[in-house]
């Protein structure tokens, strides 16, 4: 027989739960055993109902203990080293149970101590803790500051709950440069200004944080008039209250150009300097309180220069002409004219000529003299007669005055023809002809000698 009938398995049950029939059987057979069975049943029920509430409490508390952590900074970006960033840690208890020993940790080197207003959070409560960090040159080189923060807390059952978050703040840098195409402008001329903005950082401008700049014309409008022609290659541009304003998205490494023009007025209406300055409140080289030379450009207003004229050519005065003393003419010794020996033709053994001597027709010469025949020559008043020995051909006599006659007068040369003409056939000379020829030869000699004496006398008279 089973010693513990109250725990014997029933054919219609699974497990060891007691059945009413079992209790009846036990009570009928053994009255003492019936009392023991009832005692065991009461004890089992008490234990079962005592542990059920405790198990439910553990499940609810574990499901309600939750915590979250968020992070932000007071600057959307940084630009240079030694920039102070204030971090904010937002801790929230999203459950209904209270949390104690709330603690935030951030391993970032150089971070200050994290300050929290409380170390516990009730169900549904939140708080903000803060810490500060100063950027370094390494951050500038890296182009960003990265951090990893975490939070921990315990619930009433001493169960720890945690949360963590990552945060990154990037370096932003805008490089601005203002320029103009000219250095000076005349009244009525136009000046075209150009502003170039480049994103040289790692922060991408856009959305709620666009890149912005302002080009002021306060130093221009006292000497010029704005033409209202602003234009930009990226973003949007407008003109308002004496300034050209630009804004737009600008990814790292991207540039935008903004152009605008003015027309110069008359000289004297302003300070004569058309200066346009550009500034940006975002990290850049053209901050309002620390601008650089590249952030402004000046064009000078001036009258046009006078027309250029050619400089006079200085010619040195010629040196005074010093007249040299007259040089005396060299004395030329008179050279005696050569003596021409008259040639006497040898009479040929021919018969005596049967024709009479022919008369030569006067022929003009280069010297302007007239050659007359031996016989029957006539001269005009004042002409000079010069005997000459003439063969066949022309005779050129010197144009000189003979016997006191003036120079330049015509000269008549008396000439004798020696020898036969081409068509003359001589006949054998006789004694009379031979004598006549001798006389003619002598006359020719005397004529030539006289002419030489006259020539020497004339040249001597001219030198004197």
Question: In the listed set 133, 150, 171, which residue is the last one of a domain according to the structure?
Answer: 171
- The boundaries of the domain holding residue 112 are 67-171
Task: Residue 95: give its domain's CATH number.
Answer: 2.60.40.1230
- Could you tell me the pLDDT band of residue 323, with boundaries at 50, 70 and 90? low
Same domain assignment for residues 199 and 135:
no
Mean pLDDT of the chain: 74
Supply the pLDDT for residue 305.
67
Task: Say whether both 407 and 376 belong to one domain.
Answer: yes
> Mapping DSSP to helix (H, G, I), strand (E, B) and coil, where does residue 26 land?
helix
Q: What is the pLDDT of residue 139?
A: 94
Note whether 185 and 166 are same-domain residues: no
pLDDT at 349 over 60: no
Residues 179 and 165 in one domain: no
Q: Is residue 312 part of a domain?
A: no
Asked if residue 203 is part of any domain, the answer here is: yes
What pLDDT does residue 330 have? 61
166 and 283 within one domain: no
Tell me if 313 is assigned to some domain: no
Domain count, the chain: 4
Secondary element (H or E) of residue 147: strand 144-154
Residues 10-41 pLDDT 10s: 444 444 444 444 444 444 455 565 666 566 65
Residue among 48, 45, 46, 30 at smallest CA distance from 5: 30
Do 162 and 184 have their domain in common?
A: no
Contact between 390 and 418 (Cβ < 8 Å): yes
Confidence check: pLDDT of 246 > 90: yes
Q: Answer whether residue 352 is part of any domain.
A: no
397, with CB counted inside 10 A (0-12, 13-18, 19+), is buried
Are residues 240 and 193 located together in one domain of the fold?
yes
Domain contains 25: yes
Q: Is the pLDDT of residue 411 over 70?
A: no
- DSSP strand pairing (243-248 vs 370-372): unpaired
> What is the model's pLDDT at position 65?
81
pLDDT of 380? 47
Q: How far apart are CA 87 and CA 128, in angstroms?
A: 10
Residue 412 has a pLDDT of 47
pLDDT score, position 40: 60
Tell me: pLDDT of 80 over 50.
yes
CATH of residue 251's domain is 2.60.40.1170
185's tokens = 């402008």
Alpha carbons within 13 angstroms on the beta-carbon side of residue 232 total 23
Alpha carbon of 14 to those of 18, 23, 52: distances in Å? 11, 17, 21
Measured distance CA(75)–CA(201) in Å, rounded: 15
Span of 102-106, 304-308, 364-368, 426-430 with lowest mean pLDDT: 364-368
Q: Are residues 297 and 192 in the same domain?
A: yes
The CA distance from 7 to 45, in Å, is 14
CB under 8 Å to 287, separation ≥6 — which residues?
279, 280, 281
Which pLDDT does position 376 carry in this prediction?
42
Same structural domain, 178 and 275: yes
* pLDDT tens track for 277-292: 999 988 889 988 866 8
**Residue 204 included in any domain:** yes
Q: At what angle do helices 20-29 and 31-64 cross, to 10 degrees?
A: 150
Structure tokens belonging to residue 313: 């050519």
User: Last residue of a domain, which of 63, 81, 108?
Assistant: 63
Q: Are residues 246 and 192 part of one domain?
A: yes
- CA dist 37 → 8, 13, 28, 210 (Å): 12, 18, 13, 84
| Per-residue pLDDT reduced to its tens digit, 122-138 | 999 999 999 999 999 99
Do 206 and 121 belong together in one domain? no
- Asked if residue 317 belongs to a domain, the reply is no
Asked if pLDDT for residue 422 goes beyond 60, the answer is no
**192 and 129 inside one domain:** no
Among residues 171, 192, 215, which one ends one of the domains? 171
Residue 320 lies in a domain: no
């Amino acid at each position: 027989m089973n010693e513990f009938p109250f725990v014997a398995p029933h054919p219609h049950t699974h497990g060891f739960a007691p059945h009413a029939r079992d209790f009846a059987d036990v009570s009928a057979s053994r009255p003492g055993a019936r009392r023991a069975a009832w005692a065991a049943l009461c004890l089992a029920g008490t234990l079962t109902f005592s542990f059920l509430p405790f198990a439910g409490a553990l499940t609810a508390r574990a499901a309600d203990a939750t915590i979250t952590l968020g992070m932000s900074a007071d600057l959307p970006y940084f630009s240079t080293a030694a920039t102070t960033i204030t971090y904010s840690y937002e801790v929230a208890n999203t459950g209904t149970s209270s949390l104690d020993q709330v603690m935030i940790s951030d391993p970032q080197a150089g971070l200050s101590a994290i300050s929290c207003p409380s170390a516990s959070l009730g169900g549904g409560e939140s708080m903000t803790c803060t810490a500060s960090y100063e950027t370094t040159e390494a951050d500038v080189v890296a182009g960003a500051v990265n951090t990893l923060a975490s939070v921990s807390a315990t619930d009433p059952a001493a169960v720890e709950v945690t949360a963590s978050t990552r945060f990154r703040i990037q370096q932003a840098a805008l490089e601005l440069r203002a320029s103009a195409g000219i250095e000076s402008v005349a009244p009525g001329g136009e000046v075209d200004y150009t502003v170039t903005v480049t994103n040289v950082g790692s922060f991408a401008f856009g959305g709620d944080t666009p890149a912005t700049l302002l080009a002021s014309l306060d130093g221009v409008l006292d000497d010029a008039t704005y033409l209202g022609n602003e234009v930009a290659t990226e973003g949007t541009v407008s003109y308002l209250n004496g300034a050209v304003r630009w804004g737009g998205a600008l990814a790292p490494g991207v540039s935008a150009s903004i152009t605008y023009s003015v027309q110069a007025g008359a000289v004297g209406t302003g300070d004569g300097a058309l200066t346009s300055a550009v500034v940006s409140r975002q990290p850049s080289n053209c901050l309002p309180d620390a601008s650089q030379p590249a952030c402004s450009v000046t064009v000078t207003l001036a009258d046009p220069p006078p027309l250029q004229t050619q400089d006079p050519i200085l010619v040195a005065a010629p040196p005074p002409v010093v007249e040299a003393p007259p040089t005396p003419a060299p004395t030329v010794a008179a050279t005696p004219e050569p003596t021409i020996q008259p040639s006497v033709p040898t009479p040929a053994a021919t018969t005596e000529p049967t024709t009479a001597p022919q008369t030569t027709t006067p022929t003009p010469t280069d010297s302007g003299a007239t050659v007359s025949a031996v016989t029957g020559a006539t001269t005009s008043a004042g002409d000079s007669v010069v005997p000459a020995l003439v063969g066949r051909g022309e005779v050129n006599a010197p144009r000189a005055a003979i016997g006191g006659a003036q120079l330049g007068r015509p000269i008549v040369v008396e000439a004798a023809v020696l020898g036969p003409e081409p068509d003359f056939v001589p006949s054998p000379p006789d004694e009379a002809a031979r004598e006549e020829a001798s006389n003619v030869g002598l006359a020719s000699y005397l004529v030539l000698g006289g002419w030489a004496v006259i020539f020497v006398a004339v040249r001597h008279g001219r030198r004197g």
